[in-house]
Structure 1
Amino acid sequence: MPPWSGGAQPPVLGHAARSIPKATLVPVKVDGPPRSSGFVEHAYLRRLGLRPDEVAALRGRLTAELPWELLAASAADPGDRPLRAAVLAAAHGPALRALGGELEGLRRADATAEGRARAGRAAAANAAYDHNAAVEPIGMLNLERLEMAPAGIERGELVATVPLAPLEETAVTQKEWSVTSKEFSSIVTDSLENVSETGVTDNTELAQSTTNQLQHSNQFNVTGTVSGGISLISGSASSGMTSQSADSQSATDSRKHATAITQKASARTKQEHKVTITTTTVTGSSETTTRTLRNASPTDAVRIDYFSMMRKWRVRLYRSGLRLTYDLAIPEPAGALRQSYAELASLEARLGPFRFDVPHSDITEKVRAGENQAHYLVLAERYGAAVPLAPGPHPDIHVNVTAPNNDGAAIFDAPPLNVPDRYWIKNLQFRFTSESRTGDYNYNLKVLGSSIPEWNEPFGTHGPVDLADPVNGALLAHASGPCTVSFHLVNNRQTWLSLTAVVEPTDEARRQWQNDVWAALFNAAQTKYYAEQQDLAARAAALRERLNGVDTLTLRREESDEIMKGVLRFLLGADYHLMPSEVVDAFKASVGNDPDRLGRGAGFPGDDTGSLGTSSAAWAAVLGHEAEVAFVNQAIEWENVVTFLYSYFWDAPAAWPFVSRISHPDANRQAFLRAGSARVVLTVRKGWEEAWVRFAEGGFRGAPLPADHPYLTIAREIAAYDDRNYPGIPPANPGSSSLLLEDEVVTTCAAVVQPAAGGAPVLVPVASSEGFDPGTVVVVDEYDDRRIQENATVVRVPDDGHLLLSGLAHRHDGSLTPFPVRRPGHRGTLIAKWNEYTPTSGTDIAVSSPLKDIA
């Protein structure tokens, strides 16, 4: 039996404790009329994108009081006439929402593509406004921590038993075997400093299983992706800002959430311990031994029992702090990051098979409208091709000959017309002069093969006659090579014959030329296309590598920057500029005549004298801007901002096909890129609560907030409550009365303590002053109906039974119920504690265990 089975507590391995950060988000509902600072309405109207004609049409439809003149001026010139948040704050929210609904209906009535797109834009703006108007921006984030430490080994369930009768002896063959077969999970831990490391842990570890279960539970509840410094968020709700009830409710919800999570994790480790999990690496060994077991008692039977051994875990849930949160939703959180993916999609869309759409009929020598040369030469320049010249005109071919005199009939063949290759006869012009012999004779001349009647006359000159004309019989039309014309002559004298052949390229030659030109254009276009394709593919590959080849830490930082930018834009409105125009002018003045330096981010280079090249007034504007930048970065714990990503269909419908198909090897980046909207929970840095509320609600850019402004009051209350020690939280276990950590010191006072006049120190009688040191801050509390709690400083420790505290502001009565005086611990307040068990590979053996002790 274990040495502590007699009642002593098992040792707790504190050095092996695991710590998991956790938080509980509590949205706060403010009683009273709905508030409006105008920023939600301003962002809403900016997303609607009103046009002047739409403003005029809506003004005739709606009867509600709205700033129509300002709306019309902003629609006409949105760049120079921004809407003022102060004016919009005075506008009634339902009236603005009615305007958006009417605008969506007005645009849906337009059946054009532009009308549908603008209707989708209005629908997305209406959905975003409905969400932002319903969410109260002020809330609380309770910072918590789960700590799990091994707390000993205990006997588990019965595995096997061997019964032996009196004096019975038996041989037991025992086969011992060991097989290692584990499932491993890769955990990526990103340091916000400069380290990104990867570790591997066994999935059966309770701490790791709890982390996985927390993430799974969180994603299941939120139906989205959560990112930020504290990613393990559970939710609670509060109606009205009563710190005690809100904190008690959130503590109860957090305990239930944490307990359920660790119970699931413990069940998961037990299941994994029992189930064989196939992995790529399996190592094992086996050994068979035979043992002889003998019951030495002649009267009593015995039983050899085998038990599993269970590891006990001490689980503690601590609440370590409280933060004011500012809650809002922003559209398209990754809008700027998508530009690179749009460029990549454009490059990849241009990649594809080669297509050559120039028909043969386009290869012509004609000069088309707007061109200054033959069209085929225009094509050659377009594709960079060397093309053969078009078959040009050929000189006419002439044959002049004098036929011999003839008193009878004779056939005379004129010398041949040598038509060059790839040309044929287009026109064949014939002229002649002839006369007859003396007497009453006429000469006769007939062109053989022609349909022209013969000439029969005493003398005459004729021509030109186109022998190739179809009317004349189309003699030698489209003939090429040596072409001979034959004549029939009778009684002729002084006969002079002239043939002129007008030639042109043959149809085959022209087709061949078109084919040669088309082939040259095709080859040149293909070569040019493949070169362009290679360049596009290289650019697309380089861009994809640049997008995907980024380390995890840089991805998270980029997403954090985009969230910050989106929050500032949609929280502070269009009249807030990340860099005001006067600061931009100061940057421009600093670079002088080298404007390219401004585009490269090289402002204020300075000169040889050390001057920054700007005036004192401009430099003052820059310093003021930098002070505001410092405030925005310091007031919010941007490293711990929690982001809930919503699906792509909360984006403009026209973007759905593109956004929903964006891919990235990092799952978080892919979800960020695909998000159509995002809910952002800003955690306000401790001590900056009131300043941030004034800034966010318009105090820095308009009239200061009144002292009784509900959000300002809540900010002060949360800031003060964070300094308290969470009184009134019921204990996690009914038998426990202590809510303190080991490093906290507590005592009680059973007397009535009155505040001293003028804030003088007060001597407080206590049960024990051990552990209290001068200069430390203590919490003086009282568990009555008033629940008064205040901080005080230990001025001096006079003896073991008194503490001299700095001036108290309230009366504390411990005569009936002693009130506590505590020095808070540095690690937070314990709000829940319980134990969990996980199996081990060990086995325990016992003889005749009592049945009532066997699980």
Structure 2
Amino acid sequence: MTDLAAFRMNRAPMRAVTGDDERYLRLGDGGPFVAALKELGERRAEGLAADHLGELSPDLAGVLGDGPVGNWFLRVLRELDGWLTERGNAPEPEAFDEYLAKLLTMLLDREIDLDRFTPGEDADAAWDALVDVLCAALLVTSAGRTAQRATRLLAVGGLVAVRLERCGAFESAEEVYELLRHRAPLLPSPPFPGILPDRRVRLVREATVSDLYVVRSEWRCYEAGEIAEITNVLAGEKLEYRRLSIDEHELTELRSEERATVDEQSDELREQTELSEETQRQVQLAVQADGQVTTSGQYGPTQVDTTVGASADFSVSDAVRRATRLARESVHKAVARVENRRRTERTERTLSRTEVTDAHTLDNPGPGHVRGVYRWVDRVDRYQVFRYPDRLQLEFQFPEPGNALRRLLAAPDQATLDDPGDFTVTVEEITRDSWARLAGEHQVLGVVAPQEETVTVSVTLHGDSSTLTKGEGTWSLAPASVNEEIALPPGYQAEHVELELQANPQLGKFVREYTDAGKDGVETIDRFHAIAVTASLAGLTEWDFHGNGIDNTIQADGTQRKQATYAWKLPTGKQQLPRPVRDRLPVTVVAAGAESVTASALVTCRLTEESYQNWRQGVYDLLLAAHQQAVQEYREEQARLALRGAAALRERSPSRHRQMIQEELRRLVIAWLTGESPFKGRPAVRTAGDGHPDEHTDVAASLDAATEIQFLEQAFEWQNLVYVCYPYYWARPAEWDELRVLDAGDPALAQFLRAGSVRVVVPARPSLQEAVEHWLTFRQPWSGGAPPMPDDKAYLSLAQEIRDQLAPPADGEPGESWEVRLPTAFRWLDETAELPHNPRATLGLPPHQPANPICLNGTDHAGRP
């Protein structure tokens, strides 16, 4: 499919194309829509285009979609498009001719000879209608896919036109492919390209379709390089390196627990009964008896002693008293008391001490001296070029690309961010001279330069008079007039106007009054009419001109002193308006007696103070946001350093480094394409800190971000991203000291971290090149429409996307290869103590060797190899 990216005239000034260059597809002047655009200009172009697309005929709607098509030429284009797509746009010439002739014969119901066939007016009308559709679709933001479809059909139609004009078959399938893929359609000019909207994404170079050359690398081996250090151990000396590393960790835990439970219960019952009886008698009797018996005996091992005694005393008197008292008291008391006390105390102290002693075996008990030669280790990488044809390439230039990665990999006990301090910039400090410096100091991308203080608008307006009616004559004429509005640039106001008027007198038969010898009369005369011009700008400034000072309404004939003015130029000079005018400047010119009048206006506009202050405030907001982000990053780093403490730099494998560099460059590219600095991603997870009880996914935010995320990840061949690093001196001078000595075990990583700037080229996926072009112009994913469905050729399956992330595209054509030595930070103890030579020297080989070589054939001064 012919890419919109293939022709820059859609987004840039037209280039002159002469001759019959088949690299360009000439679209012609278009149809009624293009003609209307020329008359309308830029003010209502998008609205007119939208109306045109909404009122397409059934034929055009069918060929752009899947509906029925009645026009035979449009049907040819649709059927041929499908046939070419099935054959990869590269059919054999004989097959192409056979199918095209068969298709035309079927649709036109007559035998067709391609070498003698002429399409006719129906084809011309259909072609102009397609040009109108393309021109309209380029002006409507949401009509990207319509523009793609119209471009494809025009490319197919152009292929048919070339075949019919040649009156002979194509030379090869490759020629058919080139005519379909690489022909740049030339839009009608005017009104294009000036009527097209400006790009929203600016690139280092305009995105163009060409062959992409990717250099891939892999490591091959490691070899000993130059000398890094020489250690000498004298006879009887022992050299020992000792390194002590102490890691101490102490943990103290104290736990105490006490529990007491008391349960007490009391129950009491009291009962008392008392009875008294008293009798008085007069007789008294006393009796007393005593007795006691003692026995002793043994029964087995048991000794038993028994004593029995009795005493009785009875007394009777005249008075007898008897009392009976019964008392019962019951007390029940239960007490349950449980006490549980628990105390746990734990103290743990762990001390880990690690002592590392590097004792190089340089113990020299012998009589001779010992030498150890350490050499740098070089890594040998092999590079190979792969060619990928027909890729839309986007080029970027990023300053200090390794900043974020360097902070991540830097030793955590050393801060990599300086304290941003307080934000002291004021709006008044932001001027035309200082904004670039302030943006650089705060590392803000996307700051727009201020508009020019003054701009000029030049327009030419034309007006005609009504046609004279024939007859005996007429007393008056309809004047030639101009009544238009000059559109002024947004944010500007008109202050000075320079107007030049040109009027052509009217020639006709007029009735004139005259005075001759004191008598008044009327006569009919064929002459040029005198001209009187009145011009007005916004009702503020007016000019009046009367031709040649003639009072009569008709110019005199040639016998008199007054001569007719055939073309009258009236310059007004530069005039200042009494008050500024914004948005539109009305222009009214009335030329009485003129057949036509032309007004050329040069309007000088000055930027309004309101627009300038809005720009300053916008720059201030960007600077403030960048400073707040810097403060946040600095605080996060300080917190991270406080938690992690001192630790050594931990590098990863070279493969992991390459992946990290690729991801970092992808982030920078996406930030550029989205116009965000800094780029904050598309977060759709809400945490407890956002006022929610737990972490959860924001479904609405996920849906909003999904379309953009999938487009930016799928629209480019990220595995074919290529870059080249430029040295540290393109970075900020304050970073030079750190960057120039930065080193790492992986040479590629060290080069990226030291880079002051990096040039990046990213190719678009061939099936989505038009969508990428649409994004560059409007920043809308999927050409302003919905994402492609599985039956769409632009759809990317999950399996294909996984494969593309793991391996480069398969259509790369391998080219030349070479190997390069890259220095590393590793050292190698040479097997011998001999000073090395370079066994792979490539300079000064015969017959260009030095006249007096110092190293003879790779040997030292002693002649040893």
**What interval of TM-score do these two structures reach, taking the shorter chain for normalisation?**
under 0.3
User: Structure 2 length normalisation: TM-score?
Assistant: 0.21
Whose strand proportion is higher, 1 or 2? 2
Q: What TM-score, normalized to structure 1?
A: 0.21
Q: Choose between structure 1 and 2: higher helix proportion.
A: 1
Larger Rg belongs to = 2
